[in-house]
Structure 1
Amino acid sequence: MTGPQHHARAARTAPPGPPRRATLRLLKQLFTDRLALMGDNAEAYGDVVRIAIGPKAMYLVNHPDLAKHVLADNAANYHKGIGLQEARRALGDGLLTSDGETWRKQRRTIQPVFQPKRISRQAAVVAAEVDALVRRLAAHDGPVEILHEMTGLTLGVLGKTLLDAELGGYETLGHSFEAVQDQAMFEAVTLSAVPQWVPLKKQLHFRTARDDLRRIADELVDQRLANPVENGEDVLSRLIASGSDDGASREHMRDELITLLLAGHETTASTLGWAFHLIDEHPEVGERLHAEAVEVLGDRLPEHEDLRRLTYTVAVVEEVMRLYPPVWLLPRIAQADDEIGGYHVPAGSDVVVVPYTLHRHPGFWADPERFDPGRFDPANPDGRPPRYAYLPFGAGPRFCIGNSLGVMEAVFVLAMAARDLELRKLPGYAVEPEAMLSLRVRGGLPMTVHPRTAAARRAA
């Protein structure tokens, strides 16, 4: 049969996927190994997969053209989905979880803070924070928990560059955000079947964390209201000004601040954790990073213009984010029926673009499991894959607003750390990924610090 009738019938066809008898295995993977759930099914069934678990069906999209369709070409049909919907209990209607006109207004309010010229002016602040971290590590005796150090760094940078505020006194922030991620993912994988009033340890931790985050956000707003900055360009100043213009509530400001605090530190800290792990696994990469940092920086702090000179360091950051994208899952909910890759996707379906699997797609990446910063060598632009095969910051209208600040921070950290230090994992320590709202190292990353000669002099 040919013609319109046949085309309509083809468009109603459901994508391939695991059979119903695989439900128990899928449930186990959903709870214990979400990366394997996505990767195994993409490998087995192709670039569009329907994964049915109980009453829910999830559509996995794993091709650059199809990712472009969902995230950019037909973005209006796809609102934020699984995981982010559950995170709304703590984050409220911030930039990460909101949709429609609410999201557009929020984006317009915050966008100027991330203008390239303003971010470039923050380079000295970032470099000074990284320098303090490297000096502290160089003087450290014994193992350090490197993820804890990176979280402290990224929160400090976020406070000074985006909020014009000190976050050093809020030591609970990192733990509170962990509890938020744990609860959001728990609700997502249990389909919110466990009532929120059930006094599970996880849910009790979440309530305490949510109250802590709200308290911190309120304190930051109160401090700025008490000490306003004339013509302030930071997020706090813009939120307060926006509130006076359109009647936005204190709750709105709180939601935006909590969202910014999470998104602004978690992704960069996770990327740096994976970077130090991979550099330790590939010492030749560490030596090349060291040589480039010595050649470009000498003994001085990096400047924004150095991003064009630290080409290998930038390539390392990009390759780290290929293998371990900080945002490993881009979840959406279809608002109306759609066709993806020739398959029917009904309204209300959970549709997920998975950078973790897309970045390992053998059709677009040679030897995809291998760590190879040379893939991003600017001297070989023809070696780069199609635009939508690499999505560390998402794509389309919801492309990550803070990508330039995050990359600058990561590059400065790797360059200065490689110049002054060697970081080594504890012997026998197993590194495993944990796929929450971000892709982090499970259980932390203890490392020993070995200062190079120049770093020892600086620390002294």
Structure 2
Amino acid sequence: MTSGTESTRGARLAPPGPPRRATFGLLKKLFTDRLALMSDSAEAHGDVVRIAIGPKTMYLVNHPELAKHVLADNAANYHKGIGLQEARRALGDGLLTSDGEIWKKQRRTIQPVFQPKRIARQASVVANEVEGLVKRLRDARGPVEILHEMTGLTLGVLGKTLLDADLGGFTSLGHSFEAVQDQAMFEAVTLSMVPQWAPLKKQLRFRESRDDLRRIAEELVEQRFANPVENGEDVLSRLIDSAGTREQMRDELITLLLAGHETTASTLGWAFHLLDEHPDVAAKLRAEADSVLGDQLPTHEDLHRLPYTARVVEEVMRLYPPVWLLPRVAQADDEIGGYHIPAGSDVVVVPYTLHRHPAFWPEPEKFDPDRFDPDRPSGRPRYAYIPFGAGPRFCIGNSLGVMEAVFVLTMVLRDLELRKLPGYDVVPEAMLSLRVRGGLPMTVHTRNRR
């Protein structure tokens, strides 16, 4: 299962990993290139790696069956870990950061909002929002910052589909969430050794952003109390009906606003980058859009008629999974792949490296949407591909996110061509989500459709 080592009950063997003398180099990678830290460790040491950096020890898990053990089979033993623990300062005990009975209650409260039939009914709302995006892009003068546009779009979709609210007036949301991610990752990589009261620019920006997010969430709650929706199916109505405290409602809303827009916006940013790099793939996607949609807006029924576009989305999330790291903390001693994992250990499943595991992905660095063609047998284990996580904490909004991504790519590429600025260097930045560092400026060109 891992490096030829058989699992034995009661084993106390420690996993392999970089030596202590490598601490300085590991610390540098932790600050500057977290993806390389994980990729290099897995390549050098196998599918279970012990990474010791100062007083902190992490256990990297990089095999489908071992990921299944942590995320599903023994999920009760693994609570939320590094990064998400630090994010709790801003997100509170929302669905993303909570554990145990609190998390179960929150999940039960919100789950009905994401029922397939309800999401299907939101397809026209998503299509109309994307139609507005296409018009804004077509009317743009000069380069546009695509990640900013995707953030605005996904927040707009989230507001209208899940909250029955217009988020257009809350223009600071994207910047505030960026500050939260920056601070959470800063605290994680510095092992929370920098005092939170320190007057650093990053910390001051975080506190301002946290207050801004709380203000927005409280305003949304007040608006709904003032204008209740009878038999409302949206998240706000569900939270009110659950009789939670105002603080609980605020935490849940902030979490939903972050998780509900950030992952899809990041995926779309990477998609436009990869499609610009691979015009042959873009041409196939456009041909499918022309054939299926013509001049019409997509419907939910069109999703199964856009299989190539869906494969593009899947392959984008393989190479650049928006949730690149699934951090956990072991509550009790465990054994993973024959190695002893002490209670209290940080255990990380890394979709970024798992999705590139050469044993399961031929030419893992190649952008090839057809590897997801159902007519091409893969033989891959189920947990070799986990862009939405897995187990009890499988992403609750995956179907909405996929529909949104398919609609955006289909409608934008049908009418427009987006091109990166010449010489612009696209670099991944591994924060709470995997985003393009510094944004993605692109020029917009109207497509000459025949």
How does the TM-score come out when normalised to structure 1?
0.95
Task: Tell me, yes or no, if the aligned pair for 1:375 and 1:384 is still in contact at 8 Å.
Answer: no
Query: Per-residue displacement from partner, 1:328-356 (whole Å, max 9, x unpaired)?
Result: 00000000000000000000000000000
Name 1:325's counterpart in structure 2: 321
| Other structure's SS at 2:228 match | coil
The CA distance in 2 between the partners of 1:261 and 1:294, in whole Å, is: 33
Contact 2:356 2:364 survives alignment (8 Å)? yes
For 1:421, the equivalent position in structure 2 comes to 416
Percent identity of equivalent pairs? 82
In structure 1, which of residues 392, 414, 432 is the aligned counterpart of residue 387 of structure 2?
392
Partners of 1:57 and 1:328 lie apart in 2 by 19
| Distance in 2 separating the partners of 1:453 and 1:324 | 31
Give the letter for the 1:58 counterpart. M
> Residue 80 of structure 1 corresponds to which residue in structure 2?
80
4+ residue segments displaced more than 4 Å: 6-10
* 1:267 and 2:267 are equivalent in the alignment: no
The answer on whether the counterparts of 2:10 and 2:335 sit within 8 Å (CA) in structure 1 is no
Distance, in Å, in 1 between the alignment partners of 2:98 and 2:227 is: 29
SS at match of 1:11: coil
Deviations 1:133-159 (A, max 9, x none): 001111212100000000000000000
* C-alpha separation in 2, matches of 1:263 and 1:8: 39
**Counterpart AA for 2:404:** E
Cα distance in 1 for partners of 2:139, 2:380 equals 42
Please tell me whether residue 401 in structure 1 is matched to residue 409 in structure 2: no
The number of aligned residues is 445
What is the rounded CA distance, in whole Å, between the counterparts of 1:102 and 1:141 in structure 2?
48
Cα distance in 2 for partners of 1:296, 1:158 equals 26
Residue number among 281, 303, 307 corresponding to 2:303 in the alignment: 307
Could you tell me whether the CA contact under 8 Å between 2:418 and 2:444 is conserved in 1? yes
- The RMSD of aligned alpha carbons is 1.2
- Cα displacement (A) at 1:406: 0.1
Query: Is 1:452 equivalent to 2:447 in the alignment?
Result: yes
User: How far apart are the structure 2 equivalents of 1:136 and 1:232?
Assistant: 31
Map 1:174-213 to 2 at 5 A. Answer: 174-213=174-213
Distance of aligned partners of 1:173 and 1:7 in 2 relative to their CA distance in 1, 3 Å threshold: closer
2:101 is matched with which residue?
Answer: 101
**TM-score, length basis structure 2:** 0.98
Q: Secondary structure at the match of 2:242?
A: helix
Aligned to 1:370: 366
Q: Distance in 1 between matches of 2:342 and 2:131?
A: 52
Counterparts of 1:129-278 in structure 2, within 5 Å, are 129-243=129-243, 248-278=244-274
Cα distance between partner residues in 2 of 1:113 and 1:249: 20
1:56, CA displacement in angstroms?
A: 1.1
The 2-side partners of 1:171 and 1:117 are apart by: 31
Is 2:126 the partner of 1:115?
no
Find the aligned partners of 2:8 and 2:158 in 1 and give their Cα distance: 51
Q: State the distance in 2 between where 1:9 and 1:363 align.
A: 26
| Structure 2: distance between partners of 1:335 and 1:23 | 26
Measure how far apart 1:55 and its partner are. Answer: 1.0
In structure 2, the gaps of 5 or more residues are 1-5
Q: Which residue of 2 aligns with 1:33?
A: 33
Q: Which residue of 1 aligns with 2:280?
A: 284
The alpha-carbon deviation at position 418 of structure 1 amounts to: 1.0
Of 316, 330, 336, the residue aligned with 1:334 is 330
Equivalent residue of 1:171, what SS?
coil
Q: CA deviation at 1:453?
A: 3.3
Partners of 2:34 and 2:430 within 8 A in 1: yes
1:112-139 deviation per Cα after TM superposition (whole angstroms, max 9, x unaligned): 0000000000000000000110011112
Q: Please name the residue that 1:458 is paired with.
A: none
Q: Is the 8 A contact 1:50 1:59 kept in 2?
A: yes
Could you list the per-position Cα deviations for residues 180-233 of structure 1 after superposition, in whole angstroms to 9, with x for gaps in the alignment?
000000000001000100000000000000000000000000000000000000
Structure 1 SS opposite 2:419: strand
Q: 1:232 & 1:454 partners in 2: Cα distance? A: 42
